[in-house]
Amino acid sequence: MSGAGALNEVRAWLAAAQQPGGVVVLTGAGMSAESGIPTFRDAMHGLWSRFDPTALASEAGFRADPARVWQWYAERRAGVRAAQPNAGHRALADFARRHPGVLTLVTQNVDDLHARAGQPEVLPLHGDILQDRWLDPCPHPPQACTPGPAPEDAGPPRCVICGNRLRPGVVWFGETLPPEVLRAAEDAVRRCRLLLVVGTSGAVWPAAGLAGLGRRAGATVVVLNPQPSDIDGEARLCLRGTAAQLLPPLLAENPEMD
Ligand code: NAD
């Protein structure tokens, strides 16, 4: 469903939900698509079209070919650094600043565009692509692992003491989400009155389960996505459009003035 009538209906739900913790927004890769960061579906072009993202974005894939996965992440990191927040990121950050304590932003994204748009707080379910961490626990405490120089094969730097490898600071397929972040997201979703789900296919769990959790706890769920998603069945309304098209008029104080 789209059009001014549907948007106005969601705006009325948003107005009614303006209480502490009343609104949760869950964002996925589609949120950043208009900033030029490809979704997983779109990312597998050119050089990478032969590879399955679920294999590249996994511990087994990294251990099988660390240099290949590191190079894929180096490209993705460069794309994130070059990107700018879009009108959707800015609309969310503006709303949060105008209504302190009302909106909880939960994201599956590993880019930093919500933060760069000025979002006061973000619950990042899947980590941060711009950070590194060690692949294995440090085997020689109390001396910490120490990264050596970038290797010639353009693979991940290794610890100069034990050879441990750096890896991207994201949650890979098959890995557990940071428990405190997931718990905070679940609590927020259970408490809220309105849950907006923006730009996610709803195919990656447990993040996808937050929509059903919210609906069962009594929240009104609204999906914003130009395409059908696996979460549409949880939604009272699906707004068909992009994040940068829909969020500014939805969240503006006076839409007719914008
Ligand atoms: P996905 O790639 O599976 O699906 C993207 C969804 O976004 C689709 O439903 C698509 O219809 C929708 N979409 C495309 N353009 C849109 C737009 N302009 N506005 C709104 N929606 C749009 O992504 P996912 O569901 O988030 O899950 C895949 C995983 O990919 C997540 O774990 C996420 O961490 C990771 N990922 C993150 C980024 C990022 O941080 N920007 C980029 C790619 C993948």
Please report the sign of the dihedral spanned by the C-alpha atoms of residue 230, residue 235, residue 241, residue 246: negative
Per-residue pLDDT of the chain (258 residues; tens, 9 = 90+): 667 899 999 999 999 999 999 999 999 999 999 999 988 777 665 556 667 777 789 999 999 999 999 999 999 999 999 999 999 999 999 999 999 999 999 999 999 999 999 999 999 999 999 999 999 999 988 889 999 999 988 899 999 999 999 999 999 999 999 999 999 999 999 999 999 999 999 999 999 999 999 999 999 999 999 999 999 999 999 999 999 999 999 999 876 544
Catalytic residue check, 126: yes
Residue among 89, 99, 114, 126 flagged as catalytic: 126
Write out residues with Cβ below 6 Å of ligand 1. Answer: 28-30, 32-34, 37, 39-41, 43, 108-111, 126, 199-201, 203-204, 225-227, 229, 242-243
Residue 18 has, within 13 A of its CA and on its CB side, a CA count of 14
**Can you give the pTM of this predicted structure?**
0.94
Which candidate, 213, 193, 214, 211, places its Cα nearest to that of 203? 211
- Sequence-ordered list of residues with C-beta below 8 angstroms from that of 234, at least 6 positions apart, any chain: 197, 211, 212, 214, 215, 221, 223
CA-nearest residue for atom 16, ligand 1, is 30
DSSP type of residue 165: B
- 82 φ, ψ to 5°? -80, -15
Which candidate, 125, 130, 138, places its Cα nearest to that of 79? 130
